[in-house]
Amino acid sequence: MQRNYHVGILLFDYVDALDFSGPYEVFNLTTFNESDVMKLFTNTLDKKPFKVSTISHYGKQITVHNGLKVLPDYSLANAPTFDIIIVPGGPLKAIKLVEKNQEIINWIAGYKDKLVASVCTGAFFLAKAGLLHGKKATTNRSALDLLNIRYPYIEVIRGTKYVDEGNIITSAGVSAGIQMALHVVRKLFDEETARRTAHTIELD
């Protein structure tokens, strides 16, 4: 039986666009079979491995870092329970905004027994939610020292695209979220599926 996963991607003001759009595209362009790829591009594919939704605090439009406007699918209050959540990051003002939003932090903490993955400085929100205590983690290269100072109980890993700690995965900055999402595809399915997805999105 083919397994399907519902992915929830957190959005907030000042989020970095590629942090969430990279994984969004990877999961949306993953197929069960090679023969499904053409159906994917002609919008005739009924069954896919991943369904992807977006969430913001109140479900209202958010403004991405550098100005893009995005209207999420759900608020924290009406969002379904996801199989996987993706927590992107952003510049310092995004970090400050989300870290002081206890409702968002609590929402992330509620997924401690599910698969949770961060992109870039989203690792700070996982740390704030208590999900990285005693674990290895990475983040944007420019924020590695800050993560180490702020959360000394995390073993900060440098020079890697992502760190897999079982059900908690952290990735480096911006474009690294694409490699991390492909790793999740490989983890949940197999190497062939991940390679097919990489080929579909034309990533060498």
pLDDT reported for residue 2: 81
Q: How much is the average pLDDT of 172-181?
A: 96
| Rounded CA separation 44/72 (Å) | 24
Q: Which tens digits make up the pLDDT trace of 115-125?
A: 999 999 999 99
Q: Output Rg (C-alpha) for the chain, integer angstroms.
A: 16
3-state secondary structure (DSSP) of residue 190: coil
Domain range summary for the chain, segments of one domain joined by + = 5-200
Q: Is 37 exposed, middle or buried (0-12, 13-18, 19+ CB in 10 A)?
A: middle
Q: Which residue has the tokens 């083919």?
A: 2
pTM of the model: 0.96
Topology (CATH level 3) of domain 5-200: Rossmann fold (3.40.50)
